[in-house]
Structure 1
Amino acid sequence: MKDEQPLLAVRNLNQQFGPGCNNCKNPDNRALSKNYCEVCGTVYACRNISLDLFAGEILGVVGESGSGKSSLMKCLYFDSEVTTGEVYLDDEEFIGDNLFELSSQKKRYIRNYKYGMVYQNPVHGLKMNFSSIGNIAEKLIAAGNRHVGNMEEIGKRLLDIVQIPVFRMKEEPRNFSGGMQQRVQIAKALSNNPPVLFLDEVTTGLDLSVQADVLDLIKRIQREFGISMIVVSHDLAVIRMLADRTIVMLNGEIVEQGLTDQILEDPTDKYTQQLVYSLL
């Protein structure tokens, strides 16, 4: 895999909230409390993050609350601005382009055609007063589809894939259980066949049996569609089931990365060891 061209390459991504000061600006000599400067109040949400996502793989991102994993996801999906950094997509339309520096119009195009996103809270990814198939149609319309029959056909097929009964396609997601709402989100995210799918804590708050169903669905989508995914979770059990490779984050930094089996069986970083032992 090291000789392959990554589908998505992130280099030296930094995100900070606040101006910084002499106490915290120097990356080699920062006096921080975790990722927070007690002098000027600056928060360093992501610090010098570099990672690769290869075609057809699932990359896990694990860490405790406040570790920066969701901030990383928001940056990659353009929900939040980066302070500095680069991200490259192996796509003929964007060869050599740092996606963070593109216009808002081009970023919107990437979100509509190249990326899919499944949020921890379905309220952020769905319009709860639209029908389920209407939510899928919204994404298709944003990508330029105007053929009603075609959109309905795509919507029915995707709802069937995520095991939402087609007879419920015109129901609003607010009437669904949490697990079903996540399935509608996944269907919407897949609507334009994106090569990259982001999943942010998609099983948090779900019953264990529902979690298992959602995780099985994600693995099936990976096998059948070959989509590359970045999966964020604080739960190593989720990462163990899904991820081919894993990065471990703490206080905005990557403290360890490698094959998931290697991370779980022989962690080298003290924090990762604590995570793994807490799972046992």
Structure 2
Amino acid sequence: MTEFEVPVLSIKHLNKQFGTGCAHCTNPEPDALIKNYCKVCGTVFACRDVSFDVYPGEVLGVVGESGSGKSTLMQCLYFDQEATSGEAYISSYQNGLKNLFQESSQQKRYIRNNLMGKVYQNPLLGLKIDFSSIGNIAEKLIAAGSRNVEMMEARGTDLLGKVNIPIHRSKEAPKNFSGGMQQRVQIAKALSNNPPILLLDEVTTGLDLSVQASVLDLIKSLQRELNISIVLVSHDLGVIRMLADRTMVMLDGQVIEQGLTDQILEDPQHAFTQQLVHSLL
């Protein structure tokens, strides 16, 4: 098996529920749930038995309507939420043999700071909005154990240049920036430790179309240059078409279809995916 056949990230049977569940909804009867909601006890099954692999240098798109579970999936991957059950493995962590979901909170912090980067839909979640832009990057580097101020300043300047933030604004706080510039600072921060995996959660939602295009171009060029693996969540099939090699479609917390992006968009099999694709045409 070559290194390119070994997944960078492997997720198996991930489940996330909000609520304790009851005899009614843990019953596998097809009509036990309304979509992914139990009308008896109010439990929401946000992710149900989600499994996928991401390979080196690959962009995996995750698409679905609001409430399909895609953002909850991302929160579980980055430990913003605790998965109810399931397994997650990163090939560069403990030889890919340790289930990340069962690690201590200290180890999860290490994995977040060293092996993953995340860009949130809302920059307020990913940035300290009153810190300087370069200070935001330094914060991530310090969390990963860096102590050399010169190195951190050089790394921060280099990354802000890569994401087209003018050098004279590197000491400025992101609160003074436009939405598109804030997203670019988030991308720089997420990339600061050269993580093998980047998680992008609806990163262009709410941006003007021209700004969306420049952010997407930036992601595409950085991904090629750094050969980074990306999990990209979007409800916008145009974004998925532009960036994703493979695509996974979610509905009511479940993966209903996955395959090469071209194949999903040209010849969707599931009725929901067909509806999604036709709404784009």
Place the TM-score, normalised by the shorter chain, in its bin. Answer: over 0.9
In the TM superposition, residue 28 of structure 1 has moved relative to its aligned partner by: 5.6
Moved more, 64-73 or 14-23: 14-23
Q: Which amino acid in 2 is paired with 1:247?
A: M
Distance 1:219 1:63 in 2: 21
Cα deviation, 1:140-197, whole Å, max 9, x if unaligned, reads: 1111111111110000000000000011001000000000000000000000000000
| Match in the other structure for 2:240 | 239
| Match in the other structure for 1:192 | 193
Distance 1:96 1:187 in 2: 30
What is the total number of aligned residue pairs between the two structures?
A: 280
In the TM superposition, residue 94 of structure 1 has moved relative to its aligned partner by: 4.5
Q: Which amino acid in 2 is paired with 1:240?
A: R
Alignment of 1:150-189 (within 5 A): 150-189=151-190
In the TM superposition, residue 23 of structure 1 has moved relative to its aligned partner by: 1.3
Specify the SS of the correspondent of 1:67. coil
Q: Which amino acid in 1 is paired with 2:14?
A: L
Moved more, 243-252 or 93-102: 93-102
In the TM superposition, residue 29 of structure 1 has moved relative to its aligned partner by: 4.3
Q: Which amino acid in 2 is paired with 1:66?
A: G
Q: Which amino acid in 1 is paired with 2:262?
A: D
| Match in the other structure for 1:85 | 86
CA contact (8 A) 1:59 1:243 kept: yes
CA gap of 1:50–1:77, structure 2 versus 1, over 3 A, is same
In the TM superposition, residue 136 of structure 1 has moved relative to its aligned partner by: 0.3
CA gap of 1:7–1:28, structure 2 versus 1, over 3 A, is farther
Specify the SS of the correspondent of 1:25. coil
| Match in the other structure for 2:125 | 124
| Match in the other structure for 1:228 | 229
Q: Which amino acid in 2 is paired with 1:236?
A: L
Cα deviation, 1:199-258, whole Å, max 9, x if unaligned, reads: 000000000000000000010011100000000001111000000000000000001000
CA contact (8 A) 1:248 1:255 kept: yes
| Match in the other structure for 1:263 | 264
In the TM superposition, residue 93 of structure 1 has moved relative to its aligned partner by: 2.9
Moved more, 1-10 or 265-274: 1-10
Distance 1:145 1:163 in 2: 24
| Match in the other structure for 2:103 | 102
CA contact (8 A) 1:47 1:253 kept: yes
Q: Percent identity?
A: 68
CA contact (8 A) 1:6 1:53 kept: yes
RMSD between aligned residues: 1.3
| Match in the other structure for 1:65 | 66
CA contact (8 A) 1:236 1:276 kept: yes
| Match in the other structure for 1:43 | 44
Specify the SS of the correspondent of 1:44. strand
Distance 2:134 2:228 in 1: 22
CA contact (8 A) 1:23 1:30 kept: no
CA gap of 1:30–1:104, structure 2 versus 1, over 3 A, is farther
Q: Which amino acid in 1 is paired with 2:184?
A: R
The two structures have a TM-score, normalised by structure 1, of 0.98
Unmatched segments (≥5 aa) in structure 1 = none
In the TM superposition, residue 92 of structure 1 has moved relative to its aligned partner by: 5.1
Distance 1:206 1:274 in 2: 25
CA contact (8 A) 1:24 1:30 kept: no
Specify the SS of the correspondent of 1:49. strand
The two structures have a TM-score, normalised by structure 2, of 0.97
In the TM superposition, residue 132 of structure 1 has moved relative to its aligned partner by: 0.2
In the TM superposition, residue 17 of structure 1 has moved relative to its aligned partner by: 0.8
In the TM superposition, residue 22 of structure 1 has moved relative to its aligned partner by: 1.6
